[in-house]
Structure 1
Amino acid sequence: MKILSFSDLHVDYNSAELKRDLTGEIADCIKRIAPDRVIVAGDMAGGAERCIRYIEEIQERSGVPLSYVPGNHSIWAASKDGDSWQQYERLRAHPSSLIDKPLALTDEWVLVGDMGWYDYSFGLTQKTRAEIVKDKSMIWKDSVMARWGMEDEELTDRMLDKLRKQFEQLRGKRIVFANHFIPYVDYAPLSQRPEHPMGKVWNMIRPFMGSTKLGEQLDQYENIEYVIFGHKHWRHGVEERNGKQIVCNPLGYVKEWVTDDFATEIRSAATLIEL
């Protein structure tokens, strides 16, 4: 069984920047690698409607089934689109969704996933919660477009509770886990040059990258053998941590790439897992 993982494809933004539809080129990359299944760990595009359209186009063009978990961009909702729960439920109802639907890959392996979220825990050693909330309102688009009707910490706890129930039910299986957000603080950005403009920005957005609670929960289960995430647009490839294979290899935005060649970048951001 071969699983190909991606995250942070941002097909809408990158297609606009390159002035062409990228779904066919993503599908071509998938066909060349020839996996049994693709998993995308969030931020296919902004909003559920566009995510679903791109998911279906990539599946149709590649001929390979695709599993998806939302990222923060995936649930963005303007006032005319309802709230973020409606976006989340639209994605949950789609056949590609892993939300509340663990997928048996083999008799031995199961794919588990959900969106995840952040609870400011990556930033509370540097700033107070009030300072972090002020930063969020100034620079983080989720403050306007992620409309949950609850605090971020409460949403994180809801996501963790749902995942915990699945992990308990699957103790006898080997698990490939995917969510969008960072589970381990050492993967979160922290600039050693806070006086630099970009260093200041990286440090300001750090609290919105993930949750230490998620990493602690994952580490309680030895049968979770792969942990896939993105959100931070920095590629680490595959690394081992506490007996788990950690996959953080997002595509990110055109302006962040090493080259200006999409075929090179999408292949660099593709991670093949052989079970």
Structure 2
Amino acid sequence: MEIGVISDLHVDRHKTLTPEDYQNVLSNVLYQRHIDLLLIAGDISNNYKLTNQFVKHIEYEMQIKVLFIPGNHDFWATETDVTSAEILDFYLQMDACLIGKPYVINDEWAIVGNTGWYDYTYANPKFSLERVARRKYYGATWQDKVKIDWPMEDRKLSNIAARQATKDIERVKDKKIILMTHIVTHPRFAVPTPHRIFDYFNAFIGTSDFDQIYQQYDIRYSIMGHVHFRNTFVENGTTYICPCLGYQREWRTSNIEQEINHALYSFSL
């Protein structure tokens, strides 16, 4: 089985290309790479209906299994008539969403997924918790502050996400685990510091609440997105993968097929 992983497609953020263009190009790359199972680590779009449509289209077009976890952008509620909590409930009803539904590949392998959430621990410690909680720095506002309406604060959300992921892993703990989050769970994927802006904004990139999961369970692959880096490394038997496509302005070229092909990481089981 050939498994492909990608994140942060942001199909509704390109200046000229449409979500349908992204669908067609991704389908073509999946076909060329002979992908049997696609994992998407969040931030498909800024609208839950579009995210749902995109996943279903790829499944129908390619006749392969697609599994995803929503990213922070997938929860944005400002352009819809529902709350972020209602959007979460919508995703939980989708067969493709991994939250609360570990996916067993075979007798050896299983996939567990959760968005995760940031817990501020990746910020420079010179910033107090109260300062970070404002989510504003140098005149810039972290957009989740205005576009997501969670009924609780970020650190509690991070803890809840880690506990849900642990509960899901417990259901398949006899297997080798592929863990997929959106929020970064390893500090090597945070923006390198010192950095004028991200000394502060790294607070909203990652979480330390998943550290214990890596210590307790057999996590062979850890997939994450959010930070718009593309990088892979191996540490203590775990392959960490950040396969972000990212925004057009962050691409190395103007060719979407080349960029998707570069961002898509694949491995065989």
Alignment of 1:59-208 (within 5 A): 59-78=59-78, 80-123=80-123, 125-136=125-136, 138-192=140-194, 194=195, 200-208=196-204
Q: How does 1:21-60 map to 2 (within 5 A)?
A: 21-60=21-60
Say yes or no: does 1:233 pair with 2:228.
Answer: yes
CA-to-aligned-CA distance 1:202-252 (integer Å, 9 cap, x gap): 33320000101213322321x11100001011111x210121011112000
Matched-pair contact (CA < 8 Å) for 1:28–1:62: no
Corresponding residue number in structure 1 for 2:215:
219
Please name the residue that 1:268 is paired with: 262
Change (3 A) 1:80 1:43: closer
Contact 1:48 1:88 in 2 (8 A): no
* CA–CA distance in structure 2, aligned partners of residues 190 and 235 of structure 1: 14
Please give the per-residue CA displacement for 1:63-114, whole angstroms capped at 9, x wherever unaligned. Answer: 2221010100011112752221111111111121111000111111001101
Q: 1:129 to 1:17 in 2, by over 3 A?
A: farther
Q: TM-score, normalised by structure 2?
A: 0.93
Residue type matched to 1:176 in 2? I
Q: Bigger CA drift: 124-133 or 45-54?
A: 124-133
Q: Which digits, 9 at most, give the CA deviation of each residue in 1:29-79, with x for residues without a partner?
A: 111111221000000111211100111122222222210101000111127
Aligned residues: 266
- Give the C-alpha shift of residue 124 in structure 1: 5.1
1:197 alignment counterpart: none
Which shows bigger deviation, 130-139 or 90-99? 130-139
Structure 2: gaps (5+ residues): none
Instruction: Please give the alpha-carbon distance, in whole angstroms, between the structure 2 residues aligned to 1:10 and 1:135.
Output: 22
- Structure 1, residues 166-210: CA drift from partner, whole Å, max 9, x if none? 222322111111010110122211333x4xxxxx23333200001
1:18 correspondence with 2:12: no
AA aligned opposite 1:92 = L
Percent identity, aligned pairs only, is: 29
C-alpha distance in 1 between matches for 2:99 and 2:171: 15
Unaligned runs of 5+ in 1: 195-199
- In 2, Cα distance between equivalents of 1:131 and 1:274: 45
The answer as to whether partners of 1:44 and 1:51 remain within 8 angstroms in 2 is yes
Letter in 2 for 1:219: Q
Counterpart contact for 1:190–1:206, Cα < 8 Å:
no
CA contact (8 A) 1:47 1:87 kept: no
Distance 1:104 1:65 in 2: 12
Provide the C-alpha distance between the structure 1 equivalents of 2:50 and 2:197, rounded to a whole number of angstroms: 28
Instruction: State the 1:156 CA deviation.
Output: 0.8
Contact 1:103 1:111 in 2 (8 A): yes
- Give the aligned CA root-mean-square deviation in angstroms: 1.7
The whole-number CA distance in structure 2 between the counterparts of 1:151 and 1:79 is: 22
Partners of 1:127 and 1:4 lie apart in 2 by: 38
Task: Choose 22-31 or 59-68, whichever is displaced more.
Answer: 59-68
Q: How big is the shift at 1:136?
A: 3.9
Q: Secondary structure at the match of 2:132?
A: helix
CA contact (8 A) 1:42 1:69 kept: yes
Tell me if the contact between 1:191 and 1:202 (Cα under 8 Å) persists in the aligned partners.
yes
